[in-house]
DNA sequence: CTGCATCCCGCAGGATACTG
DNA sequence: CAGTATCCTGCGGGATGCAG
């Protein structure tokens, strides 16, 4: 069988494939930003909020919860007062960012390229 | 300056950075599927429609138009009857899929992993 | 400091019908 | 075959206020 295909797997193309949901969460508007923010190292709630320009608390919370459930992000809450909560990537989470960061870096560079040369 | 950062660039984190829009289109629900579908080679309109389970004509059209405008996808319409229109990746488009395919492959595998072992 | 609850809105996105 | 037009819905996502 052909091994020349660039994308041999075909599961995602099925509408009911579970990978669709997972992929949707990872590539969601705030999902990619949360993941690459954590790629630099653990961050606290307030740190994430400050780092990611434009996130609302609501969306940050929702995104973090879904990643926790998915096993991509770890939540470490120290029982102190005032509360101290730190978020970090799990091993699986790091596998994602390893693949995600190059994409985002490319997008930044291409956006600059287009902005500079007007792509004409 | 520190070169130890996993993600040294910080543009995307600004709410008004142009890369946000570009990234949003690429990682949109149908955007990633269209791109990786074309990673295997050029496809016709009907081919894309069949390959990508669940796309409506409307969303396929919108996605292709935006990628055309962005310079990621090339539209080749032969003036014959019945019409024959072929879509393919530009060089920039291939740069995207080079980075996108590994992510999708990972998601498929992880989804299977989670489904099999219930991740507990 | 770290959130959750509520209200509200726009737009992504689906279904259907029509056209060159 | 390769689309466009229209209508309609759900939910992504913002703003604000409150709580442990």
Shortest CA to C1' contact from A56: nucleotide: D14
More confident residue, A120 or B69: B69
Q: Over 70: is that where the pLDDT of B106 sits?
A: yes
How far is the C-alpha of A78 from the C-alpha of A84, rounded, in Å? Answer: 5
Contact B22 A110 (CB under 8 A): yes
pLDDT digits (tens, 9 = 90+) for A97-111: 999 999 999 999 998
The mean pLDDT value for B40-45 works out to: 96
Distance CA B65, CA B67 (A): 5
Q: What is the pTM of this model?
A: 0.90
Predicted local confidence at residue B4, as pLDDT: 56
Q: Which of A4, A5, A19, A50 is the best mutation test for B, with the most CBs of B within 10 A?
A: A19
SS3 content of chain A, % helix, strand, coil (to 5): 60, 10, 30
User: Residue B104: which domain range?
Assistant: 3-119
What is the nearest nucleotide to B83, using C1' and CA? Answer: D1
CA distance A50 to A47: 5
Domain holding B88: CATH number? 1.10.10.10
Number of domains chain A is built from:
1
Q: Supply the mean pLDDT for chain A.
A: 89
- Rounded, the Å distance between the CA of A68 and C1' of C2 is 16
Residue A79 C-alpha, separation from nearest chain B C-alpha, in angstroms: 25
DSSP A71: T
Q: Which of B15-24, B80-89, B98-107 has the lowest mean pLDDT?
A: B15-24
A59 in contact with nucleic chain D (CB within 7 A): yes
In sequence order, the 6+-apart residues with CB closer than 8 A to the CB of A86 are: A42, A43, A44, A75, A76, A77, A78
Helix (H) or strand (E) holding A84, with range, is: strand A84-89
Query: What digits encode the pLDDT tens for the residues A13-50?
Result: 999 888 999 999 999 999 999 999 999 999 999 999 99
DSSP letter string, B40-86: TS-EEHHHHHHHSTT--HHHHHHHHHHHHHHTSEEEEEE--SS-EEE
> What Cα–Cα distance (Å) separates residue B104 from each residue in A2, B24, B45?
20, 16, 22
Residue B61 to residue B63: CA distance in whole angstroms: 5
């Amino acid at each position: 069988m052909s091994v020349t295909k660039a994308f041999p797997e075909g599961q995602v193309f099925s509408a009911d494939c579970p990978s669709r949901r997972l992929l949707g969460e990872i590539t969601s508007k705030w999902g990619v930003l949360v993941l690459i923010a954590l790629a630099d190292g653990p961050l606290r709630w307030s740190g994430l909020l400050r780092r990611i320009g434009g996130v609302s608390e609501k969306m940050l919370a929702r995104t973090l919860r879904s990643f926790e459930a998915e096993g991509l992000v770890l939540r470490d809450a120290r029982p102190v007062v005032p509360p101290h909560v730190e978020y970090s990537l799990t091993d699986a989470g790091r596998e994602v960012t390893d693949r995600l960061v190059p994409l985002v870096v490319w997008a930044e560079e291409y956006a600059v390229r287009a902005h500079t040369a007007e792509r004409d």
